[in-house]
Amino acid sequence: MERSTHHRIYVFLIALLGLCIFGAMNGLMLMHGPEAWTSQRFGAWTAFHKDFVFSGFDQFTYIVVSKWRPIFEIYRHPMLAFLIWPLTWINSILSEYFHMNCAIYVVAVTYTLVSTATWCLLYAIFRRRIGLSRTSSLLLLLFYFGFAYVLLASFVPDHMIWTQFLLILTIYLASSQKGMKYWLALAIYFFAAGVTLTNGIKVWLIDMIAAYRSANYTKLFRRSLLYIVPTILLGCVYLWQQEIYYEEEVSYQKLMRQRAIERDSVATMKKFTRDSLFLAKRHEKQSVDSRFFAFTDNTVDRGQLVYENFFGEGFILHRDHLMEDANARKNIRPVIVHYLDWWNYIAEAGIVVLFAGGIWWGRRKRLLWLAMMPFLFDVCLHIGLRFAAADVYIMTAHWAYVIPIAIGLMLKECKKTFLRSIVITTLVALTVFLWWHNLNLLVPYILP
């Protein structure tokens, strides 16, 4: 009984630590917004579109929570606006009571809670699925959330935080001895794909790996067929939005464009011309002539893409062009930015080497391959097809949790005391460096 009580207290303290960390980061984000973000005198688009610049992250969450509009690209995010709708409803109540736009506060509280839940899920994976000690589990948590764009996803509004939570939840449930019940897998698939379509493929892959050992190929095929049901439902949601809300949004945007022309036709036409040229140039770089591949870029060197963006900026922020947006219409960040200091490359190499060691030591563990599925899919998508090559680092939270899981398996499986000591020492050094370096750049940028 006493041991159980101590365990519960320790778990509570771990959760409290996560809550404090993410509460502090979201509190920091609240200090970034200008007065227009809470004023009801400005339209949501005007208030957030100009002053929200976080290197590829969209301000759409703030806009939708301020006043519900289906402005997300529904062919890629078919249910994201509806999943955010409860926050819009809460904001409408608070805004009426406090006579201000409370969207940034509603989002801050929500992101703090979701990030804390993700923190606790990862801790449960380290403790229950891998069997690590409390100290090692906490170290791996701090290591993972020290990654630049994992930390950013915990307080900068976009869909990455939802994807991260749903995929880590899928891995946790699928890694149990019995795996996931089919209805639970289908439910997670529906919501995960509703956030971003590619999440559905990842959930399906994880579920197939989890069910592989306890089912023959016929049963796996039948289980796969069940995914047709939520896919059809998502298709129906898409068509319904396309007919009801999307056309209304298009009409609204045309009206706003016409009003802008009436106010200042010369400046407006210059902006439309500049935007059209930007989109035309981006279209020329597409790997495949389809709107699903609108963000591919066949001009980017894959080698530099890997070590400067995919494994680079995603973990360690570049000092040059900090938080600039490679997809912006003006003041565009270069797709490839090099580190000024050699030790950043050493730190990146250290993370990759630990990851590779974790893959080797955990290669026979099902948990590793469950976590590897999102990573391998994103490698094919972002490195193979060069999808979102311009800002691939903002997707880090979609897959990077495989790294601490792999390292955790190495710590568990490796029996050599000397090697374990080296790994733990390296982890501590990298964790301290990641938090020091990334916060040293982020805090001055965020504070007014």
Percent of the chain with pLDDT over 90: 53
What would the mean pLDDT of 145-151 be, rounded to a whole number? 97
Residue holding tokens 């149990």?
176
What would the mean pLDDT of 19-48 be, rounded to a whole number? 85
**In this predicted structure, which of 43-52, 164-173, 272-281, 413-422 has the lowest mean pLDDT?**
272-281
Alpha-carbon span 262 to 268, nearest angstrom = 9
391 pLDDT band (50/70/90 cuts)? confident
Residue 258 has pLDDT above 90, yes or no: no
pLDDT higher at 381 or 178: 381
* pTM (predicted TM-score): 0.91
Which residues are CB-contacts of 445 (< 8 A; sequence separation ≥ 6)?
322, 323
Q: Which of 41-50, 147-156, 216-225, 299-308 has the highest mean pLDDT?
A: 147-156
Percent of the chain with pLDDT over 70: 86
For residue 445, what pLDDT is reported? Answer: 93
For residue 345, what pLDDT is reported? Answer: 95
Residue 261 has pLDDT above 70, yes or no: no
Q: What is the CA radius of gyration of the chain?
A: 22
The amino acid that residue 321 corresponds to is H
pLDDT in tens, 94-135: 998 888 989 999 999 999 999 999 999 999 999 999 999 999
The alpha carbon dihedral of 332, 280, 314, 306 has a sign of negative
Residue 91 has pLDDT above 60, yes or no: yes
What would the mean pLDDT of 68-83 be, rounded to a whole number? 81
281 pLDDT band (50/70/90 cuts)? low
Residue holding tokens 């601490």?
404
For residue 443, what pLDDT is reported? Answer: 94
195 pLDDT band (50/70/90 cuts)? very high
